[in-house]
Amino acid sequence: MAQRKRHTGWKAVALGLTLSLLLSGCSFTGLDARSLMRPPKPTGEKANIYNLLEEKAGRNFTLKYPASGDYRSAIIQYNLCGDFTQEALAFYQRGDNDTTVNLLFTQKVNGKWKDIGTFSTPGAQVDHVCFGDMNGDGVDEVIVGWGSSASSANTVSIYYYQNQKMNELKVDQSYSGMSVMDFDGDGKKELLTVDIPTDIQQPLTAQLFRMQGSALQLMGSTRMEAGIVKLSNLKEGNVSAKQPGVLLDCVQTSGKTLSELLYWNKAKKTLTAPLYSAQSPQQNVTMRDVAISSCDINNDRIIEFPIVTRLPGYVGVSSDDVGSETQWIQFNSASGNYSTAASMIFNSRDGYSITLPDKWKNAITTRQDVGARTLTVSSFNVSGGTVGKALLVAQVFTQSEWNAKEKTKGFEQVLSDGSLVVAISCPTPSDPLAVPAAQLKKCFQFITTDSST
């Protein structure tokens, strides 16, 4: 996984909160190609596999490493045959001028590794590798995403063990994002592909496939918004109670981000995208200017998606100075309804978020002073459209400023990373909307962002 860092020098803190690309499990979006140098020769059991590679490819070969996912090694040991032992697969190129990527499957027989299948993909790079039982035989198949260095048309192949050898099933479908999981609850994994068309005026599409024996069957497909240029995040898991699916965060040509939700509707036997409306395209309520990604915000094992709304007040003030409220929304597949799991304010400049207390719902606004590094939460009269008293002032101090105590009177520390301190004051504790400082301290969290964005 990519290293993570926090805005404005904050150290990364573990949270169930992500702003940007967030990938996990056997799901992936696009290709992150990298230049690879030949690594030191492996040791132990992998050294014996390496020796077989030298026999197959000659000495001047290069190992190729998957660009994303949980399996990043060029040589992966895994039980491919269901015999309670580990076989292995290895990705390599034969020489400096050979653009073909080869995939070798090998099995240890009588103490020696032997070839049980070799395949090649011209002009390809290894995007992603994952495993899952797709045909219900109790043995995991190997799913490999291939990304071309010459185009954005990524492809996928499924490799399965049959008749004492590995076999290849090429999927006749390009992808921009993929997921392998049990979508329909039958105990077998299915393959979901999401494809951004070359003509961005055409809609984003998704297809769900199941494996039947040694063939692939299309279960269903659906269309979503047009004008998508990138999938910034594909998050797989439960998208409702006991309802597996994926949430996509999609970047439009305008630079804005929107979310799409995909799941298999067992009652209707259709692949469903409830956030998309064919009658009202470009009206997705999740459209936002900030790169906040879908995630399980409250650790209930259900993925939520964000809806970002500009807070009221301060007409004419720079939009950067007036904050936004982010509501984390949870889908209910049984009723088709939505509910709010949490509401937050993100101070992305200073690297923290505030979970809003219930009594502040539709009753506050914020203003940020970038120079002073303060964020003020004030009451707001909705009917009159006026800003009221300050309920909370959050300020960032350097550690030395905090230790000197010259500018910190009336503030209480809520977060610290050793170099910077976030502190709060509550100037109107008797206001009907006031929240005790002890309670507010629990509402602050550090923001983490992926260093690749």
Res 154: pLDDT: 87
The CA R_g of the chain, rounded to the nearest whole Å, is 26
Which residues, at least 6 apart from 356, have a Cβ–Cβ distance to it below 8 Å? Answer: 325, 343, 344, 345, 364, 443
Phi (first) and psi of residue 156, to 5 degrees: -135, 145
Q: What is the CATH number of domain 41-175?
A: 2.40.128
Q: Taking the C-alpha atoms of 138, 139, 141 and 142 in order, what is their torsion angle to the nearest 10 degrees?
A: 140
Name the pTM for this structure. 0.84
Beginning with the edge strand found earlier in the chain, give each strand of the sheet holding 190-195 in spatial order.
27-29, 177-181, 190-195, 203-212, 215-226
Q: State how far the Cα of 288 lies from the Cα of 299, in Å rounded to an integer.
A: 23
Reading the chain (453 residues) residue by residue, the pLDDT tens digits are 333 344 444 333 334 444 443 334 466 555 443 444 455 666 677 888 888 999 888 888 999 999 988 999 999 999 999 987 889 999 999 876 788 899 999 999 888 899 999 999 877 799 999 999 999 999 999 999 998 766 667 899 999 999 999 999 999 889 999 999 999 999 999 999 999 999 989 999 999 999 998 899 999 999 999 999 999 999 999 999 999 999 999 999 999 999 999 999 999 999 999 999 876 766 789 999 888 999 999 999 999 999 999 888 755 555 556 688 999 999 999 999 999 999 999 998 899 999 999 999 999 999 989 899 999 999 999 888 899 999 999 999 999 999 999 999 999 999 999 999 999 999 999 999 999 999 999 999 998 754 333
Show me where the domains of the chain are located.
41-175, 182-343, 348-452
Cβ(105)–Cβ(81) below 8 Å: no
Which letter does DSSP use for residue 359 in this model? G
At 152 the pLDDT is 64
At residue 149, the pLDDT reads: 66
Say what the pLDDT of residue 239 is.
Answer: 98
Looking at the DSSP bridge assignments, the partners of residue 270 are 265
Q: How far apart are CA 358 and CA 311, in angstroms?
A: 16
